[in-house]
């Protein structure tokens, strides 16, 4: 996919595990790796608060927001040495909007609290990008206005379509959406690159699309579902009898 020399095992390993992006000559193997790096940081922050989110959602959000703001303050002190980390952290408030929406629709917070926390989150978004990417605040290229539009459209769709039932096709794409997001670029580019000299472009497109769907379904069925089942079995509260039985077995 653009490399003129074969990758070494170390380059491949660092690229596939996302560490390669921090190298002097970055190795990019996953098309969605930039957003993945942002997501991973968000997950690390959020997972600590999972036991507290249901009981104290507002406090959980506020602490996470403070962590993001604190990370930006620390990154500013180190300057360009951690610029990439700081930019990635600056996107986390967007994911916090999703968390607040979840709180609202799970009836964990009131509408008034939701509006207040979203307003605070917009201020947090402005704070974290004002020094790192000031161009995003200019009216002709306003990052904040774009977020506001997307947020308003998303909330409107959720409100208007909350009772809408999905058919089998919609459910299928819902299930494989994350895997499709991860694999579409790599699978599509490789498939088109291999088949285009042999097949018409329109047919190559449909074959590439079919391969992307197949790979995404396999990933969902045998990686995502398996992982979710394992995590749920770990997090599921066990009875005293089960704990004693597990201790005796060990």
Does a structural domain hold residue 9? no
- pLDDT surpassing 90 at residue 62: yes
Clarify whether residues 102 and 143 are in a common domain: yes
Class of residue 128 by CB neighbours under 10 A (exposed 0-12, middle 13-18, buried 19+): buried
pLDDT band at 217 (very low <50, low <70, confident <90, very high): very high
CA distance 19 to 5: 20
Does a structural domain hold residue 144? yes
pLDDT band at 98 (very low <50, low <70, confident <90, very high): very high
Residue 176: how many CB atoms within 10 A of its CB? 22
Does a structural domain hold residue 10? no
pLDDT band at 97 (very low <50, low <70, confident <90, very high): very high
Concatenating the DSSP letter of every residue in 185-240 gives HHHHHHHHHHHTTTS-HHHHHHHHHHHHHHHHHHHIIIIIHHHHHHHHHHHS---H
The secondary structure element, H or E, covering residue 177 is helix 168-195
**For the segment 203-216, what is each residue's pLDDT rounded down to a tens digit?**
999 999 999 999 99
184: closest CA among 224, 215, 212?
A: 212
pLDDT given for residue 148 in this prediction = 86
Does a structural domain hold residue 170? no
Q: Which of 118, 137, 164 is the last residue of a domain?
A: 164
Of residues 3 and 112, more confidence is placed in 112
Concatenating the DSSP letter of every residue in 40-103 gives HHHHHHHHTTHHHHTT-HHHHHHHHHHHHHHHHHHHHHHGGGGHHHHHHHTTHHHHHHHHHHHH
Clarify whether residues 97 and 45 are in a common domain: yes
Clarify whether residues 39 and 109 are in a common domain: yes
Clarify whether residues 129 and 247 are in a common domain: no
Clarify whether residues 50 and 137 are in a common domain: yes
Does a structural domain hold residue 233? yes
Using a CB cutoff of 8 Å and minimum separation of 24, what contacts does 67-71 make?
Answer: 68/92, 68/93, 68/96, 68/124, 68/128, 69/124, 69/127, 69/128
Least confident of 48-57, 131-140, 208-217: 131-140
> Phi-psi bin for 7: left (phi > 0), alpha (psi -120 to 50), beta?
beta
pLDDT given for residue 185 in this prediction = 81
pLDDT (mean) for 98-117? 93
pLDDT (mean) for 71-97? 82
Task: Pull the structure tokens for residue 129.
Answer: 């990008």
Does a structural domain hold residue 121? yes
Task: Pull the structure tokens for residue 250.
Answer: 């060990």
Clarify whether residues 224 and 181 are in a common domain: yes
Does a structural domain hold residue 155? yes
Q: Which of 112, 139, 164 is the last residue of a domain?
A: 164
**For the segment 224-246, what is each residue's pLDDT rounded down to a tens digit?**
998 888 877 766 655 445 444 44
pLDDT (mean) for 181-195? 85
**For the segment 149-166, what is each residue's pLDDT rounded down to a tens digit?**
889 998 888 888 777 777
- pLDDT surpassing 80 at residue 123: yes
Clarify whether residues 36 and 146 are in a common domain: yes
pLDDT band at 247 (very low <50, low <70, confident <90, very high): very low
Clarify whether residues 71 and 115 are in a common domain: yes
Q: Which of 105, 135, 164 is the last residue of a domain?
A: 164
- Write the CA distances from 96 to 38, 109, 122, integer angstroms: 12, 14, 10
Task: Pull the structure tokens for residue 7.
Answer: 């990758």
Domain that holds residue 238: 176-250
Output the pTM of the full model. 0.72
CA distance 82 to 64: 20
Does a structural domain hold residue 14? no
> How far out from the chain centre does Cα 49 lie?
17
- Write the CA distances from 211 to 24, 217, 226, integer angstroms: 34, 10, 22
Clarify whether residues 121 and 37 are in a common domain: yes
Clarify whether residues 141 and 182 are in a common domain: no
For 228-239, give one letter per residue: b (16+ CB within 10 A) or e: eeeeeeeeeeee
Q: Look at the chain and report how many structural domains it folds into.
A: 2
- pLDDT surpassing 60 at residue 249: no
Clarify whether residues 128 and 218 are in a common domain: no
Clarify whether residues 75 and 190 are in a common domain: no
């Amino acid at each position: 996919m653009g490399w003129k020399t074969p990758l070494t095992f170390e380059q491949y390993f660092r690229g596939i595990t996302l560490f390669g992006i921090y190298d002097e000559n970055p190795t990019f193997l996953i098309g969605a790796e930039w957003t993945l790096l942002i997501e991973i940081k968000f997950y690390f922050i959020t997972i600590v608060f999972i036991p507290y989110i249901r009981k104290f959602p507002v406090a959980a959000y506020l602490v996470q927001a403070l962590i993001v703001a604190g990370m930006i303050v620390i990154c500013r002190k180190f300057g360009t040495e951690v610029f990439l980390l700081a930019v990635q952290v600056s996107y986390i408030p967007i994911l916090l909007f999703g968390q607040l929406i979840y709180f609202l629709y799970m009836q964990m917070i009131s509408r008034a609290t939701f509006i207040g926390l979203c307003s605070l989150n917009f201020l947090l978004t402005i704070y974290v990008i004002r020094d790192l990417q000031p161009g995003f605040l200019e009216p002709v290229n306003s990052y904040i206005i774009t977020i506001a539009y997307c947020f308003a459209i998303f909330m409107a769709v959720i409100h208007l379509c909350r009772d809408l039932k999905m058919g089998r096709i919609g459910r299928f794409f819902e299930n494989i959406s994350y895997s499709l997001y991860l694999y579409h670029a790599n699978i599509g580019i490789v498939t088109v690159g291999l088949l285009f000299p042999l097949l018409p472009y329109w047919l190559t497109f449909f074959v590439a699309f079919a391969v992307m769907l197949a790979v995404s379904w396999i990933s969902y069925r045998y990686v995502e579902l398996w992982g979710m089942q394992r995590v749920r079995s770990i997090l599921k509260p066990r009875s005293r009898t089960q704990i004693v039985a597990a201790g005796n077995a060990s």
